[in-house]
Structure 1
Amino acid sequence: MFRHYLRLVLFALGLLLGVQVPGFINDYSQRIEAHWQESEQGLKGFRETAKNFFKGDLEALVAHYQASDDPVFNSDADSLNLLLDRSRLLDGEWRAMQGPWYAKAWHVASAADPELLEETYQGYRYQVLLAPEVIAWGIACALLLAWLVECLLLGAGWTLGVGRKHKIIQHEQRHWR
């Protein structure tokens, strides 16, 4: 009977953990979009300058700043390069988060920006969303966790000999008759 309750507890734990996955992915996606929009806003003035003088080429604007003898322009070139690098990073992350659910999940699990992932984790609040994909994640994680733990426990029990019936040697059976 204890085993049945353990299965139920594992299933419930897996379900609760599984329903967090889509919420976390959604929070990461929203964080990326917010940072991306902020980055684009920060580059807006530079884009206008590049549009007016360099046919919209921000790299040409950076090169112009770097070629200047003025240390202020050189410093601005470094700052603009940092903004452009950040914009490229966020644009790549944003594009990765525009795919189907499995692509998003894979990206967050394997290729997400560590800094943004940590920021999302620090700001994440546990939530239970009632959407079909959330329910599917919950049930899948619950079944997987329950199955893995049961396999581990049964394998350990089998290895240690728990639950095996020992055969009685025929000779000993006859001796006690």
Structure 2
Amino acid sequence: MFRSYARLALFALGLLVGVQVPGFIEDYSQRVDAHRSESEQGLQGFRETAKRFFSGDLDALVSHYRASNDAVMQSDAQSVAFLVDRAALLDDEYRAMQGPWYRQVWHLTTAADPALLEETYAAYRYQVLLAPDAIAWGIACALLLAWLLEALVLGIAWLLGGASATRTRAAERRHWR
């Protein structure tokens, strides 16, 4: 009886964890989009300067700043280069989060920007969404978690010899009926 309740609790835990996945993906996507928009606004003036003097090439603008004899311009070159690199990173993250759900999950688990991921974790509020994708994630995670733990427990029991004893008792009960 306890085992049945443990399975139900485990299934419920998997369900609650699984319904968080679509919400977290959405929060991360929105955070990336917000940072990307802010980054574009910060680069707007530099983009106009690069467009006017360097055919829109921001790298050429940064190179020009670095080559300048003026210490202020050289210092600004580092700042502008950081802004350009950050905008490129955010653009890559934005494109990665525009793909299908499985690519988004793969990106989040393997290649997401650690700072943005940490920022999303820190601000994430657990929620139970009743959207079809959240329900599907919940059921899939619940079944997977329940199956993995059941397999782990049965594997440990088998290794310790409990499986043969259980089979023997079950066989004895069948034969004595």
Q: TM-score, normalised by structure 2?
A: 0.90
Q: How is 1:131-150 mapped onto 2 (pairs within 5 angstroms)?
A: 131-150=131-150
Query: What does residue 175 of structure 2 align with?
Result: none
Letter in 2 for 1:136: A
Runs in 1 of length 4+ with deviation above 3 angstroms? none
* 1:165 maps onto 2:171 in alignment: no
Could you report, residue by residue, the CA deviation over 1:78-116 in whole angstroms, capped at 9, with x for unpaired residues? 110000111111111110000001110110011111111
Query: Post-superposition shift, 1:164?
Result: 4.1
Letter in 1 for 2:36: W
Count, aligned residues: 168
* 1:92 maps onto 2:92 in alignment: yes
- The percent of aligned pairs where both chains have the same amino acid is 70
* 1:152 maps onto 2:152 in alignment: yes
* Alignment RMSD (CA, Å): 1.5
Query: What does residue 172 of structure 1 align with?
Result: none
SS of 1:165's partner is: helix
Could you report, residue by residue, the CA deviation over 1:135-159 in whole angstroms, capped at 9, with x for unpaired residues? 1000000000001111111111222
Paired residues of 1:35 and 1:90 also in contact (CA < 8 A): yes
Q: How is 1:1-177 mapped onto 2 (pairs within 5 angstroms)?
A: 1-162=1-162, 163-165=166-168
Structure 1, unaligned stretches of length 5 or more?
Answer: 169-177
> Residues of 1 paired with 2:62 and 2:157: CA distance?
66
Which entry has the higher C-alpha Rg, 1 or 2?
1
Q: TM-score, normalised by structure 1?
A: 0.90
SS of 2:168's partner is: coil
